[in-house]
Amino acid sequence: MYTIYCRKGAGSMAVEALLEACGAAYKVHDLDRNPDGSLPEYFHRINPKAEVPTLRLPDDSIMTESAAMMIHLADLHGEAGLAPAIAAPERAEYLRWMIFLATAVYGSDLRMFYPERFTTDAAGCDGIKAHAEKSMAREFEIYAEALGTKPFTLSGKMTALDIYAAMLVSWAPDVPAVFAKHPNLKAMYDKVTAHPAIAKVWARNGI
């Protein structure tokens, strides 16, 4: 059984949704912050960076980094059909966009909402946030262009990549504005979140 260490609405949401969509046996461990905003001390012993998601695998080893979890889980549970096979022609595109989302869009989101983490000068936080918002807007443009008129990123079939993308779209500072500018992102998002497994997890996370 997997154990996923979560915070509702955080980066754990996509991994939790993928576990549900794969039909994997898992349990959720929601983390509460201490009064000073930190996470419990025991969690630092599990993941020294104290970041969610953190995933305990069935062999009791620990995984961090959400994109790595998405790739690993979709491959392990290939029967769910949520990732192209390693030798499939679309595998390279799948990996390209998964890492783009993880490093570009996710990175912009962190700088936008937690600018203080990226500077030693508090006076620079506003500039970091403004630049992150601009970067995220451009990154959504790039991703929307790649999606085009396809129902999902790779083809007519949802993959782990689309689940990850849907989570990140839900974090935009103005989701309706993103959807108005990129109707294809809204169409993809609606298809992903209509999946019963995804809808269940989105509801648990208050989305």
What pLDDT was estimated at residue 167? 98
| Every domain range in the chain assigned CATH 1.20.1050.10 | 91-195
Q: What percentage of the chain has pLDDT greater than the value 70? A: 100
**DSSP calls for the chain:** -EEEEE-TTSTHHHHHHHHHHHT--EEEEE----TTSPPPHHHHHH-TT--S-EEE-TTS-EEE-HHHHHHHHHHHTGGG--S--TTSTTHHHHHHHHHHIIIIIHHHHHHHH-GGGG-S-GGGHHHHHHHHHHHHHHHHHHHHHHHTT-SSSSSSS--HHHHHHHHHHHTSTTHHHHHHH-HHHHHHHHHHHHSHHHHHHHHHTT-
What pLDDT was estimated at residue 14? 98
pLDDT in tens, 66-82: 999 999 999 999 999 99
Say which CATH class 91-195 falls into: mainly alpha
Q: What average pLDDT score do residues 91-109 get?
A: 97
CATH of 2-80, one of 3.40.30.10, 1.10.150.20, 3.40.50.300, 3.40.50.2300: 3.40.30.10
| Every domain range in the chain assigned CATH 3.40.30.10 | 2-80
Indicate the pLDDT class of residue 57, thresholds 50, 70 and 90: very high
What pLDDT was estimated at residue 162? 98
Q: How far is CA 27 from CA 22, 49, 195, in A?
A: 14, 21, 20
Predicted TM-score (pTM) of the model is 0.95
